[in-house]
Structure 1
Amino acid sequence: MSERTYDVVVWGASGFTGRLVVEYMHRVYGSAGEVRWAVAGRSEQKLKEVLQEVVGSVDIPMVIAESHDEASLRRLVEQSKVVCTTVGPYAKYGSLLVKLCAETGTHYVDLTGEVHWMRKMIDQHHVEAEKSGARIVHTCGFDCIPSDLGVFFLQQAMLEKHGVYSPRVKFRVAKTSGGVSGGTIDSAMNMMEEAKVDPSILTLMSDPYALNPLNMPRGEDGKDQTSVVFDEDFQQWTTPFVMAGVNTRVVRRSHSLMGYPWGSNFRYDETVLVGDGPGGFVKAWLTTAATGLLVAFTAFTWTRKLLVRLAPSPGEGPSEEAIRNGFFNIKLFAAHPDDSERNMVAIVTGDRDPGYGATSKMIAESAVCLAKDDLDTPTGVLTPSVAMGQKLIDRLQQNAGMAFTLQ
């Protein structure tokens, strides 16, 4: 990559998550340190207000652009090694940016959970990004870094300790505390509106291998869990995990891009642990019913309108206290292929609200990793583990309040 003015440009810095990214970048990397970074958005005045409020000055460089104006976006991407974008719904506002990054060899990170849009970006830009040297990396937040890097970490540990990979990995949400922003709800609403016009989107979203390379081997995984199931390995009742439909597809894409090292029959799933005994059983059914109701609210036009009225607006999110006091604790189980006594469990933890406090740190470190670390990894439309792997894990543990440990 030719010399660029900036290492990282934060696109959407005046939005809810964008502000958190700006705060983190300034706190960890300063305004005149080893990482040359800038903020970008449509309004210079709004960017100045954010910098004054979050940083205490307007010393951070600003880049002004419009999300649908190709000339201004091209100027933005050509100035930076990495574009870190928090502007969603990405299906509405991200396609042109991905296109330009793929063309110019500019690395890219986002927070999308829109599977249908990721499939579109893969089909349209993977080959071009491979040729230009760009790494286009979706899902660099709570969706899907704990999943994607957690599986990568546990598989490497299994290989180092036992000399084999696991053919079966489970991801279990043990504990979590956090809120929801208006931007997340807006993205979900937009995805369902698009599906109403194009029913093939729902078909794609139900495909366990929706993000795998076309005409490549598929595995044995079926649809995501939709009911209450008792997990024998954790000895707890489990309920569906709302983000499994995104995370599992990303992990399976990682496996395919790596060349299927975990075996052609590798299986992976994600659920939520809710407890054991009769109490856990009742809680599991109540939680499943609540999750089903939320999904139902996104399925119909009139319920979507009601949800929009009740939910935070785009640009709004959890309080500072909720973000600060939030956390997550994830457990991953890997089955040894031959000896159950050699099964392994990894724990992935993070401080702050997972959807925003932790996510803003994850995407920021992903951007810095792509910009500053010497990566011997492929190019194209990738996943966090394929693009950055252990080097991103190291950064997240060193700077971002995350831990990857073995139980």
Structure 2
Amino acid sequence: MARDLDIIIFGATGFTGKHTIPIVSKFSKTNGRHLTWGVAGRSEKKLKNFLSQCEKEAGTSLNDVPVIIADVEDEDSLNAMARKARIIINCCGPYRFYGEPVVKACVEEGTHHVDVSGEPQYMEKMQLKYHKLAQEKGIYIISACGVDSIPTDLGLVFLQQKFTGTVNSVNSYLSAWEEGDSLPGPALNYGTWESAVYGLAHANELRELRQQLYSSRLPSFKPKLEAKKYPHTTDLLKGWALPFPGSDRSVVRRSQRCFYETDAKRPVQIETYFMVDSFFRVIMLIIFGAIFSLLARFQFGRNLLLKYPEKFSFGMTSHEPPSEEKIAKSWFSVTFYGEGWKEELANADDQYSTPVNKAIVTKVKGRNPGYGSTCKCLVLAAITVITETDKLPSGGGVYPPGYAFAKTSLIKQLDENGVTFEVLSEKDLSSVNN
């Protein structure tokens, strides 16, 4: 079927969509590409206003960019939108409420789909419901294509590629900071806060979903990587490490399961943490986490969290979006510590009889994690789907980004555009373990 456009940004008038527009404008015309694109949403006037606002950052006129009217509550409009493009970049969240109608339209119309969801329940539900249908249509549905969770998922793929031998386990440490003096005001968009509230409220759905999604557990490998559920320090970074409550671990585990079940590769064990610079902040986060967890369980509590985000997030989020100046000063990094063996065994299920004898430290780093790096990851992921389809998993399907993009040039493209991947050190552990 001939398509009018290569790419459509759906939800282009939202905060993420707004920051995606100039990046699509840039990357659609780089590296010899000449990709066509448009924007979609409920209001033609609002879409045209946003295009006008983005012209300065894009560095070019956007007057001729096609505008498509589509609404998540209007199935026909979503199908008509999906028929116009090779891939939909879906920026309309929370995906728990607004994601599935767009995925359904894309599957029905044979259109690829990417989004920036960090919501495990939504992602795994889409895999359960649409994986086989997507394979029948030969299309790719790939969520978590932002900083949730490309840096961690593809970061682990990068670590494995640089590790000669077999990786057994990895600990990842997320750090975030502002350069210079910290500016007042929220750092997170309200949509991210809303997704977190509902994600925790419905976390009990995951067990049943996973029982339906997977017929068996992954095999247990030794040495087993034990999770540290308490604040602790690491030689890699300054500060305190706490268990990361985001979706990175669940996304990585889905990728590792795909590598094991489809490619017969030994799955890597992973635990994910985030860094806090002082013990005082550790205490404050523990108090915040306890209050947040309690309130999110009840409708009354969720109403309070959503009505007064500034108070319950200690000013981290608000109904007002973060300032452009503040997000431009923000940075993130994910540091990985991996252990394994120099030697490879013949089969993915084989167990090693010797202690691990090799370690590696790698890092993924970028500016403006919520919107700059996230939008670069999202747009380059979408372009990779339609330009390197032959390097994606054969036949189509619903996949996490690490498995979907492992054989593509996406890591290289990100590294060349501000989301950097590097090896920090390698170490022989033979003498340590003898």
TM score, norm. by length of structure 2:
0.80
2:241 pairs with 1:238: yes
Give CA deviations for 1:223-260 in whole Å, capped at 9, x if unaligned. Answer: 975432344776864212231xx111111110111225
Aligned partners of 1:213 and 1:256 also within 8 Å: no
Count of residues in correspondence between the two structures: 385
Q: 1:181 aligns with which of 189, 193, 196?
A: 189
Q: Cα gap change, 1:406/1:26 in structure 2, threshold over 3 Å: closer, same or farther?
A: same
Partner of 1:34: helix, strand, or coil? coil
* Aligned twin of 1:270: 272
Distance 1:314 1:81 in 2: 35
Deviation at 1:42, TM superposition (A): 0.9
Q: Is the 8 A contact 1:188 1:298 kept in 2?
A: no
- Unaligned 5+ segments in structure 1 are 196-200
Q: Secondary structure at the match of 2:204?
A: helix
Q: Give the deviation of 1:343 after TM superposition.
A: 0.4
> What is the aligned counterpart of 1:370 among 385, 391, 400?
385
For the pair shown, the structure with the greater C-alpha radius of gyration is: 2
Question: 1:1-400 counterparts in 2 under 5 A?
Answer: 2-29=1-28, 34-55=34-55, 57-158=62-163, 162=164, 164-177=165-178, 179-191=187-199, 195=202, 201-202=203-204, 204=206, 210=210, 213-220=213-220, 226-231=229-234, 237-243=240-246, 246-259=247-260, 263=266, 266-274=268-276, 283-311=281-309, 316-337=320-341, 342-352=358-368, 354-378=369-393, 379-389=396-406, 390-399=408-417
What is the one-letter code of the residue matched to 1:170? Answer: N
Contact 1:227 1:288 (C-alpha < 8 Å) held by counterparts: no
Matched-pair contact (CA < 8 Å) for 1:335–1:344:
yes
Structure 2 counterpart of 1:343, one-letter code: A
> TM-score, with normalisation over the residues of structure 1?
0.85
Cα 1:316–1:85 change in 2 (3 A) is farther
* 2:9 aligned partner, one-letter code: V
1:406 to 403, 414, 423: 423
> Could you tell me whether the CA contact under 8 Å between 1:239 and 1:287 is conserved in 2?
no
Q: Structure 1 residues 355, 204: closer, same or farther in 2, change over 3 A?
A: same
Secondary structure of 2:414's aligned partner: helix
The 3-state SS of whatever aligns with 2:146 is: coil
Percent of aligned positions that are identical = 29
Summarize the Cα distance change of 1:328–1:301 in structure 2 as closer, same or farther, 3 Å threshold: same
Q: Which amino acid aligns with 2:170?
A: V
Is 1:119–1:211's contact at 8 Å kept on the other side of the alignment? no
Deviation digits for residues 130-161 of structure 1 (CA, Å, limit 9, x no counterpart) = 11111100111111111100011001111xxx
Across the aligned residues of Structure 1 and Structure 2, the Cα RMSD in angstroms comes to: 2.9
Q: How much does 1:375 deviate?
A: 3.3
Decide whether aligned partners of structure 1 residues 45 and 274 sit closer, same or farther in structure 2, where only a CA change above 3 A counts.
Answer: closer
Per-residue CA deviation, residues 298-341 of structure 1 (Å, 9 max, x unaligned), is 33333322222223799842110011111101100110236756
Task: List gaps (5 residues or longer) in structure 2.
Answer: 56-60, 179-185, 311-316, 342-353, 425-434
SS of aligned partner of 1:258: helix
Q: Is the 8 A contact 1:375 1:388 kept in 2?
A: no
- Contact 1:6–1:37 (CA under 8 A) maintained in structure 2: yes
In structure 2, relative to structure 1, the CA distance for the partners of 1:383 and 1:4 (3 Å cut) is: same
